[in-house]
Each structure stands twice: as structure tokens, then as C-alpha cells.
Amino acid sequence: MLNLRCLAPFWVRRGRIAAAEVPLNEKPLGGLRNKLLVSLVLGLVVFAGLSLYADLPKLLESLRDFAWPLVPAILTLTMANYLLRLVKWHYYLGQIGVAGMARVDSGLLFFSGLAMTVTPGKVGEWLKSYLLRELMGTPFARSAPIIIAERLTDGVAMLLLASSGLLAYGYGWQVLLVVLLGAAAVVYVSQHRAAARRLAAVARRVPFLARRLELLRSFYESSHVLFRPKNLALAIALGLVSWFGECLAFYLVLLGLGLPAGPLLLLQATFILATATLVGSVSMLPGGLAAAEGSIAGLLLLLAVTREPAVAAAATLLIRFCTLWFGVSVGVVALLLFAPRLARRGVRLD
């Protein structure tokens, strides 16, 4: 049986990972079981808060009137997002030289990471690097940039999806600017070795970083490959298509709540979901909880998509259950399926 106690920095029991292999934080997965439990509790608190804000009886009425036959289509669009991100994961593995990994193992490893999206800042997704090391011998420092590249290219894709609404409404530009500047800084340093050398010179004067300079060098080399213009453009293009699927899912949620179909509603759904997702990411809260929900409900009312708090709250709960919590469920199932395969290779999850 899979025990959540396994989700700790040295949870892979075939052999301990030396602390020196973990850049920046020696215990990035420490106490993850407690973090997951805290996230679940926070999710319940968010639900309670929305219920109080929207008036629980009215909220329940909106949920009762929702067109539930749309749920399979909504979940299909969400799953399409995950599958396209899986394509990007496979592509990135090839770019850093990981060869010979069974597609089933690679897929289960990727989907297992979805269970970790409710950790603060999604730090739990680093488990993909740990398992990749144990299964393929890929050093943590070489594969870790994939996690950063995934977050960065997804963020840029969401920024582009939100841009049309930003031009139309002018809301949320501060958060979008932070994302854009952060992404630009990362890509600039990764592609300009002179800038990287200057940062390395600074790192040598900091004892904590100086002891990990070789790891940081390996980390940089992978980043240099992943953020080359061709790879960056391909990943962002995949992100645009995959995340637009979730925006379409939100559009269907709004239709299911009785809002009139049309290009304007699609534009609003895309802008709101993309902006709220970015706000949740920047907040570093577990799964963006509270920040994303507050942004979705608030923007629905602010942009007059609906004037009913109960409808706004219902739309928020539905899209979060069909994206965030659906993804966590898929991730848990993947972990359960992956555990025996790992055990046969001497990697125990206990």
C-alpha cells in the first residue's frame, strides 16, 4: 500500500540521496504528507468561505441547476491539457539526454507529479526528479530544470492567453508583468553564459552555494538547452493549446450555469481562468488555493459576467474541482499504479 510517509526527501528507499545533490534546499519534500493534509483542509476552508459569501442555499441551488451532462466534456478538456503537457515532458527528457525510459514509466512518473500540485509553489513536483534519478540514474541537478521549464513555459502561455482580456479590461496587469519579467530574466541568464559566469562568481563567495557549484553548473547546462529559442517556442506553443483546453472547460462551466454562449463569454472565460491561474502560481499557496478561487469569483463579478455571487461561487467550485482536484486525483491513481512497478525495480515507496 502506498503510504504518504514516503513523500519525504529521502522517501526512495533503495538508497539515500545525498543532501548535497539537492540544490538550494536540502529537504524540498520534507513533511509532504502534512503539507498535503493542510492543503486538503485549506480546500475545505475555501469551500466554506465561498459558501458563506454566496449564501449556501443559493449556491446549492446554482449547483443543482447546473447542466451536469457537460462534466464529461469538461474533464476531457482537462485531460487533454495533461496529455499535451505529457508530450512536453517526453520532449524535455530527450533534450537533456534521458534515453531508454519506458513510455509507461515516463507517463506514470509525469502523472504522479499531478498529486503534488497542492503543495506550496508545487514544490512536491520535484519528486519527478528524484524518481528519474532512481530509475534512470539521471542526476537531480540535470533533470530539475525541466520542472522550472514546465512552470515557466506554462506561465508564458497563460500570459498570452490572458493578454486579449488584459487589453480589453486592463485588470491584473501587475501580476502578468511580474510573470513576464521573471520569465524573461530566467531565459536571459540561461542563454547568456557571460551573465551566468557573473552569477557563478557571486555564488563562489557564498559558502552554501560554493559547496554546490558543480550541481549548479549541471543545472545551468540543462537550462541552457531547454530554453534555447526552438525549444522555448515549441513548449510555449504546446502550452497555449493545452491550457486553452482548460479555458474552454471553464467556458463550458459557465454555459452549464445558464450564461449566454458567444465569443465575449469565451474571451472572458479565457482571461479570467488564465489570470486566476497566474495569481495562484505567484501566491505560492498550496495549489493556489484561496488566491485562484478569489480571483475567479471576483473577476466574474467585476467584469459583470454574472451579477449573482452564488453563480460566481458555483462556477469557481466547479472549475476547480474539474481541474485542480481532478488532477490531484489522477496523480494519486498514477502513484498507486506506479508503486508496484517501482518496487519490482527495487525502489520502495513506504
Average confidence (pLDDT) per 10 residues, the chain, 350 residues? 38 36 41 64 80 86 96 98 96 89 91 82 72 86 88 89 78 70 81 78 75 73 83 93 97 97 95 91 81 92 93 95 93 88 72
**How long is the chain?**
350
Query: C-alpha angle 60/66/68, rounded to 5°?
Result: 120
Quote the pLDDT of residue 199: 78
Number of continuous H segments (helices) and E segments (strands) in the chain: 15, 0
Q: What is the pLDDT of residue 194?
A: 81
Q: Any residues with CB less than 8 A from the CB of 198 and at least 6 apart, and which?
A: none
Stated pTM of the model: 0.82
Chain position carrying cell 482548460: 246
Nearest alpha-carbon partner for 149 in 246, 278, 236, 242: 236
Residues 252 and 70: their CA atoms lie apart, in Å, by 7
Over its C-alpha atoms, the chain yields an Rg (Å, rounded) of 21
3-state secondary structure 270-306: HHHHHHHHHHHHHHCCECCCCHHHHHHHHHHHHCCCC
- Hey, is 9 helix, strand or coil? coil
243-277 as b/e, with b when 16 or more CB fall inside 10 Å?
bbbbbbbbbbbbbbbebeeeeebbbbbbbbbbbbb
**Strand, helix or coil for residue 349:** strand
**Residue % of the chain over a pLDDT of 90:** 39
C-alpha cell read off for 52 = 458563506
DSSP assignment letter at 25 = -
* Cα–Cα distances in angstroms (integers) from residue 231 to residues 4, 95, 153, 161, 240, in the given order: 35, 9, 10, 19, 14
